[in-house]
């Protein structure tokens, strides 16, 4: 299923537009997401940076945006002798789709309210501007 999601995101410009619109994701974010989803194992920042041929700090910021948007999960792996590192895995595609649907529904409701306010504002203005009949 994850490979199908990556192919869908890569092939469908409308979906990429949704990712940009709803979450402010960049082309690099989408590329990093594709790398994480396309891997069978959890990946470190260094792993992803090597795949996309970008600096570690740049990829870290991209992965943080993906984490904030809910597209990836971050897990801490502890070394036996102390210390730790983080790995990234894709989030559940159904959870991602459900969240995008919720955001779309919220946006739709807000736009409906704004349209209603627009109608009220300009209906009143038209009524005041109409000449009095006498």
Domain presence at residue 45: yes
Give whole-number Cα distances, 113 to 19, 83, 101, 118, 121, in Å: 24, 52, 18, 9, 12
Confidence class for position 47, pLDDT limits 50, 70, 90: very high
Mean of per-residue pLDDT scores for the chain = 82
Domain presence at residue 53: yes
Question: For tokens 């795949």, what's the residue?
Answer: 51
Domain that holds residue 96: 92-122
Contacts of 115 (CB under 8 A, 6+ apart): none
pLDDT at 13 over 50: no
Q: Running DSSP on this structure, what letter comes out for residue 132?
A: P
pLDDT value at residue 59: 97
pTM of the predicted protein model: 0.66
Long-range contacts of 75-81 (CB under 8 A, 24+ apart): 75/42
Residues 71 and 50 in one domain: yes
In whole angstroms, give the CA distance from residue 33 to residue 116.
Answer: 38
Count up the domains in the chain and report the number. Answer: 2
Residues 71 and 17 in one domain: yes
Q: Which of 47-51, 65-69, 110-114 has the highest mean pLDDT?
A: 47-51
Residues 21 and 75 in one domain: yes
Domain presence at residue 128: no
Residues 59 and 15 in one domain: yes
């Amino acid at each position: 299923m994850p490979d199908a999601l990556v192919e869908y995101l890569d092939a469908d410009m409308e979906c990429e537009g949704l990712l940009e619109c709803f979450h402010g994701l960049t082309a690099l974010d989408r590329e990093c997401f594709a790398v994480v989803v396309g891997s069978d194992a959890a990946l470190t920042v260094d792993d992803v940076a090597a795949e996309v041929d970008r600096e570690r700090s740049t990829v870290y910021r991209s992965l943080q945006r993906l984490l904030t948007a809910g597209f990836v999960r971050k897990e801490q792996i502890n070394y036996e002798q102390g210390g730790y590192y983080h790995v990234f895995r894709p989030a559940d595609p159904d959870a991602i789709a459900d969240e995008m649907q919720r955001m779309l529904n919220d946006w739709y409701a807000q736009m409906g309210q704004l349209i209603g306010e627009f109608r009220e504002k300009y209906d009143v203005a038209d009524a005041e501007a109409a000449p009095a009949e006498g």
